[in-house]
C-alpha cells in the first residue's frame, strides 16, 4: 500500500455547485453574464502565447492592482483564486499539528479543508442567532497556538457582514503575531456603511491581510485569479508557498482587462444589489427565515428542511446550494432567473 496520509480519509470534499443542462444555476455565486468583450479579447490574445510559461512574478497584473488599489506592489500576492491564497496562508503560518486556525462556522467551506490539508488544527466559533460572526467569541477562541484567523465578510453562506468596529475590536484583542485574514470575496456587493472595508485598516494593522477575487463580480470564476493585500512580509511569504506558474497568462491578462472595465462590471453589481432586496422580501413574505444580505446570494435558514428544499428546487430546474442541516444558499441573478427560483420557493411552502 502507498503511504498516503491517513488523515486525508476524513478530509471533507469541496462540493461544487452542480451544473445541470437546462437548469438555472444559482449554486456558486457566479455572475450570469460572460466576461466583457475587452476581457474576452485579452484572453484570446494571451492564448496565442499558450506555448510559453506565464510570468511567474505576475508583474503586469500586480502593478495594475497596485495602482488601482493604491498600495505598493510589494504588498500584493496574486494567487490561483483566493481559495489557493487561503491554503497558502495556512502553509505560511502553520507548521505543527498543534497550530490552530480560528474561523466562524458556518462560513466558507474551504477553510476547514485548507486547514486540514495544512496539517493544522481547526478551531471553529459558531455564528450567532443572527447568522453573523460572533467576534467576541472568536477573540476568546484565540490562544497561544493560534496562528491564523479567517474572517469572512460578507460571510459565505449567510451573507452577513462584520462591521468595521467589530473587526477593529478583534484586531485590538488578538496578539500582533496572529495573522488575521479578511476574506472579502463579495466586497463589490457591500452597501452597508458600517461594514468593514479591509483596505481602510491594512496600513494600521500589519497582521491584517485582505483577500479579494476576480471570480465573482469580475466574472472570471473559470480563469482562477485572486489576490491578497497585506504587509510586504505576508505577501512575500504567500509568494514563497505558491506553486509556480499557477496563475495562467490568460488569467493575468483577463484580470488586467477586468480592471480596465471595472465600471461596467460594478454597474452590473448594482443590478444584483437591487434584486437581492426584492428576492429577500419575497422570501420573507413566503415565510422563510432570511438574514439581510450584503452579497450576491441569500441564505435560507431551513434546518432539517434543507435537503428537501434543494431537491424540490431541482425538480423545478433550479440548482441551489444546500448545506444540510443548516440551510440553503441561493445566488441572486437576473430578474428572470430570480423569478424562476421564487416560484419554486413559493411552491415549496404550499
Q: Which residues bind ligand PLP (CB under 6 A)?
A: 29, 81-83, 108, 152, 156, 183, 185, 213, 215-216, 221, 226
Q: Cell 485579452 identifies what position?
A: 42
Residue 152's Cα: distance from chain center in Å? 7
CB of 197 to ligand PLP, least distance (A): 16
Nearer to ligand PLP, 247 or 344 (CB): 247
C-alpha 286/C-alpha 349 separation (Å) is 7
C-alpha cell at 136: 467576541
For residue 247 the three cell numbers come to 496563475
Least Å from the CB of residue 1 to ligand PLP: 33
| Cβ 185 to ligand PLP shortest distance, Å | 4
CB of 215 to ligand PLP, least distance (A): 3
Residue nearest to ligand PLP (CB): 81
Nearer to ligand PLP, 218 or 348 (CB): 218
Residue with smaller CB distance to ligand PLP, 58 or 282: 58
CA dihedral sign of residues 338, 340, 341, 342: positive
Please identify, using beta-carbon distances, which residue of 84 and 305 lies nearer to ligand PLP: 84
φ, ψ of residue 164 to 5 degrees: the values are: -60, -40
Q: How far is the CB of 340 from ligand PLP (least distance, A)?
A: 23
Q: Which is nearer to ligand PLP, 297 or 341 (CB)?
A: 297
Please name the residue ranges forming H helices in the chain. Answer: 37-47, 59-69, 82-93, 110-117, 135-141, 164-173, 232-240, 249-260, 262-285, 306-315, 335-349
Longest Cα–Cα distance of the chain, Å, equals 58
Report whether the peptide linkage leading into residue 325 is cis, meaning its omega lies within 30 degrees of zero.
Answer: yes
- Smallest CA-to-CA distance from 9 within 18, 19, 1, 21 is with 1
Q: Based on CB atoms, which residue is closest to ligand PLP, 82 or 146?
A: 82
Closest approach of ligand PLP to the CB of residue 45, in Å: 23
DSSP letters spanning 158-188: T----BHHHHHHHHHHS-TTSEEEEE-TTGG
335 grid coordinates: 430578474
- Classify residue 74 by its DSSP letter: G
Q: How far is the CB of 131 from ligand PLP (least distance, A)?
A: 15
Q: Return d(Cα 133, Cα 31) in angstroms, integer.
A: 26
Q: What's the min distance (Å) between Cβ of 346 and ligand PLP?
A: 27
Beta strand pairing status for 146-152 and 226-229? unpaired
The Cα–Cα gap between 346 and 325 comes to 20
CB of 29 to ligand PLP, least distance (A): 6
Q: Which is nearer to ligand PLP, 297 or 309 (CB)?
A: 297
The three-state secondary structure class of 299 is strand
Residue closer to ligand PLP by CB (options 82, 305) is 82
Residue placing its CB nearer to ligand PLP in the complex, 77 or 152: 152
Closest CA to 104 of 70, 72, 141: 141
Amino acid at each position: 500500500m502507498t503511504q498516503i496520509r491517513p488523515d486525508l480519509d476524513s478530509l471533507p470534499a469541496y462540493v461544487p455547485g452542480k451544473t445541470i443542462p437546462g437548469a438555472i444555476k444559482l449554486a456558486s455565486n457566479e455572475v450570469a453574464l460572460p466576461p466583457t468583450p475587452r476581457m474576452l479579447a485579452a484572453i484570446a490574445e494571451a492564448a496565442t502565447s499558450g506555448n510559453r510559461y506565464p510570468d511567474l512574478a505576475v508583474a503586469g497584473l500586480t502593478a495594475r492592482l497596485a495602482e488601482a488599489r493604491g498600495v505598493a506592489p510589494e504588498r500584493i500576492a496574486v494567487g490561483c483564486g483566493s481559495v489557493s491564497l487561503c491554503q497558502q496562508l495556512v502553509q505560511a503560518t502553520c507548521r505543527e499539528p498543534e497550530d490552530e486556525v480560528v474561523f466562524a462556522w458556518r462560513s466558507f467551506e474551504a477553510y476547514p479543508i485548507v486547514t486540514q490539508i495544512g496539517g493544522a488544527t481547526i478551531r471553529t466559533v459558531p455564528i450567532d442567532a443572527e447568522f453573523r460572526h460572533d467576534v467576541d467569541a472568536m477573540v476568546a477562541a484565540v490562544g497561544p497556538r493560534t496562528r491564523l484567523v479567517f474572517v469572512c465578510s460578507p460571510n459565505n453562506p449567510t451573507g452577513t457582514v462584520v462591521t468595521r468596529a467589530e473587526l477593529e475590536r478583534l484586531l485590538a484583542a488578538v496578539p500582533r503575531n496572529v495573522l488575521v485574514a479578511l476574506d472579502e470575496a463579495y466586497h463589490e456587493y457591500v452597501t452597508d456603511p458600517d461594514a468593514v472595508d479591509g483596505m481602510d485598516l491594512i496600513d494600521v494593522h500589519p497582521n491584517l491581510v485582505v483577500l479579494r477575487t476576480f471570480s465573482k463580480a469580475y466574472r472570471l470564476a473559470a480563469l482562477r485569479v485572486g489576490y491578497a493585500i497585506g504587509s510586504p512580509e505576508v505577501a512575500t511569504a504567500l509568494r514563497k508557498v505558491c506553486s509556480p506558474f499557477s496563475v495562467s497568462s490568460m488569467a493575468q491578462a483577463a484580470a488586467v482587462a477586468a480592471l480596465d472595465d471595472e465600471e461596467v462590471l460594478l454597474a452590473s453589481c448594482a443590478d444584483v444589489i437591487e434584486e437581492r432586496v426584492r428576492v429577500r422580501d419575497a422570501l420573507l413574505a413566503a415565510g422563510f427565515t432570511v438574514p439581510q444580505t450584503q452579497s450576491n446570494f441569500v441564505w435560507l435558514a431551513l434546518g432539517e428542511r434543507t435537503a428537501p428544499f434543494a431537491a424540490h428546487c431541482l425538480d423545478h430546474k433550479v440548482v441551489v446550494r444546500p448545506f444540510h442541516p443548516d440551510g440553503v444558499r441561493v445566488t441572486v441573478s437576473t430578474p428572470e432567473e430570480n423569478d424562476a427560483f421564487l416560484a419554486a420557493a413559493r411552491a415549496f411552502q404550499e
